[in-house]
Amino acid sequence: MVVEPIDWSKGTAAMQIFEGLKKGMAPNVDHVSPVDFLMVAGDGRDDEVIFRWANELGVDKTIKYVTTVSLGSRNTEAGCTLTQGVTGKYSSTRQTWNNHSLD
């Protein structure tokens, strides 16, 4: 028998972890958020919730740098799409880091 909560997903898990980080971090002039850079990559419809959440964190400047990447070719909430699938993940990640100067 497997017992799993039906209301948990990758998205709700990420949100819970982020909230825990925020609670555990003392206020500081240098760090408003416990995270400066967030990259979310996924390949399925169930990843759309976490893409939307991550993008909102970037729009409202909760996290300074946010990149969302969908693998495959379909409509998505992700900001970027890798149509060649997982084989392009490494080069895209390197390109993302090269494009962002983390101050």
| Separation of first and last alpha carbons in the chain | 49
Domain ranges of the chain: 33-91
Average pLDDT over residues 74-82: 87
Q: What confidence tens digit (pLDDT) does each residue in 33-68 have?
A: 778 889 999 888 888 889 999 999 999 988 889 999
Query: What's the rounded mean pLDDT across residues 24-39?
Result: 76
Exposure of 95 in the CB half-sphere (CA atoms within 13 A): 9
Between 10 and 51, the higher pLDDT residue: 51
**CA atoms of 31 and 46, how far apart (whole Å):** 31
70 touches 42 (CB < 8 A): yes
Structure tokens at 85: 């699938």
The pLDDT assigned to 39 comes to: 92
pLDDT: is 24 or 75 the higher one?
75
What's the pLDDT band for 21 if we cut at 50, 70, 90?
A: confident
The answer, yes or no, to whether residue 92 has pLDDT greater than 60, is no
